[in-house]
Structure 1
């Protein structure tokens, strides 16, 4: 984590407007360059908000993919700080009080949740979910549980749903497949696809009706007939999945030399329709 937590660090973050704003304007409170993480940190572009995200572990990345692919999610704020925590008059006992300040500098801790998610409600009104992403073994540590309890009380007072998500609640294969498809969400760098996109879509859908053909066979045929560079058939296929124009069973590992019938591939039309995948709560 951050090597030294002090007033200078807090003031710098606030001056940079970290933890503030929504959508494209939000800035993550903690960023990849700040953290000496034991896990793998990732910067990744998010299409929901059109900005770069700072994710501090593979688990956060997997959960982010699930959120990105969920049609009901309208905003995702990562490493979200509870800046007004110390103004909320949350009741704490002596044991929890020790977690409120840095033991060396006595500077108040700024607690963060992995994600503050905005969702569309049934009546169209937005509602919020706070999610902490943790490895299950971390929940065996008393200090971790104490910090989580403080955050639970904060969000309870705010009237926001609070939850902890571990590797046990995340479908990693589904998340990996979604990430694989989202990599081709934007195909602006492939002009040979853009110029013929309506025709290529129709051909791809037609070829996919041949359930006994392999994906690789279909992609090669499309590339040959339209004189596309090798690999563009796959990029188009991923693009159609990412944009919800094709749905398939994303819970299984995808082997391109397998037959189409193994994956329940369906065409959902322009703008996708309702083919969302459930995210672990």
Structure 2
């Protein structure tokens, strides 16, 4: 949950709208809140998404971890973070019907725009998710705002659910973060043919099952005259492309024996 630190008023509301915030889809979407707009409890992050190809603005560690899970999922077609509930009059009416005090800026008296942490497009439709620490749910005010949010989406026939850290696999999120860390393979191996050949050769050695993982890395780097360390990037690319499957729910440990590391090639599943 972000903490507001700047005055909110009608002029700023219209400026956000004119900037296109909360509008667009996929790579063209602009979140209602950017990380520089507010302070936050925890670490704020700017992360480039695989699904959308754009930078995502995430306001807590929990949002970051959940984003990694969404971005890895083959079900997600679009991920829009900090999505605004722009129908202010409707949101205020929902609060009034519940006898809940809608949030207004104390100085200007202008209503704040509530946001859902994620609006996700899947092949089955659109869903909304809010991410909170479990301990925050002990705060009645937090629960009141979440109820406004839930009813707002219910009015649109959109499934809304609450996600806490207890429902997020930290190990899987860390694995995904590691896979996308560093330079992409396209920047390290120029030329699509050489890149594809290095990946195919890696798979050839990997499927052997008897070759130690460090030896595979060295052999690929030597055979294609690659800079030291590029072999692991070839491996990451193969995992990202689902050519090599990992058991993502447990920490990746490439130093473990092959029969225990939980890796196998899609062809042999």
Is TM (by shorter chain) over 0.5? yes
TM-score of the two chains, using structure 1 as the length reference: 0.87
Q: Secondary structure at the match of 1:75?
A: strand
TM-score of the two chains, using structure 2 as the length reference: 0.90
Determine the structure 2 residue equivalent to 1:172: 170
Instruction: From 248, 261, 264, give the equivalent of 1:263.
Output: 261
Cα distance in 2 for partners of 1:33, 1:157 equals: 32
Moved more, 257-266 or 6-15: 257-266
Larger RCO, structure (CA 8 Å, separation 6 or more): 1
Map 1:77-96 → 2, pairs under 5 A: 77-87=80-90, 89-90=93-94, 92-93=96-97, 95-96=99-100
Shift of 1:49: 1.5
Determine the structure 2 residue equivalent to 1:224: 222
Moved more, 194-203 or 142-151: 194-203
Shift of 1:249: 1.0
Cα distance in 2 for partners of 1:141, 1:213 equals: 55
Determine the structure 1 residue equivalent to 2:144: 146
What residue ranges of structure 2 are gaps of 5+ in the alignment? none
Aligned-pair RMSD on alpha carbons?
2.1
Instruction: From 110, 134, 137, give the equivalent of 2:135.
Output: 137
Moved more, 169-178 or 190-199: 190-199
* Residues matched between the structures, number: 264
Shift of 1:207: 1.9
What residue ranges of structure 1 are gaps of 5+ in the alignment? 122-126, 270-274, 276-281
Cα distance in 1 for partners of 2:133, 2:89 equals: 27
Determine the structure 1 residue equivalent to 2:24: 21
Determine the structure 2 residue equivalent to 1:70: 73
From the two aligned structures, give the one with the greater helix fraction: 2
Cα distance in 2 for partners of 1:27, 1:66 equals: 21
Deviations 1:209-238 (A, max 9, x none): 244544323212221232221111100100
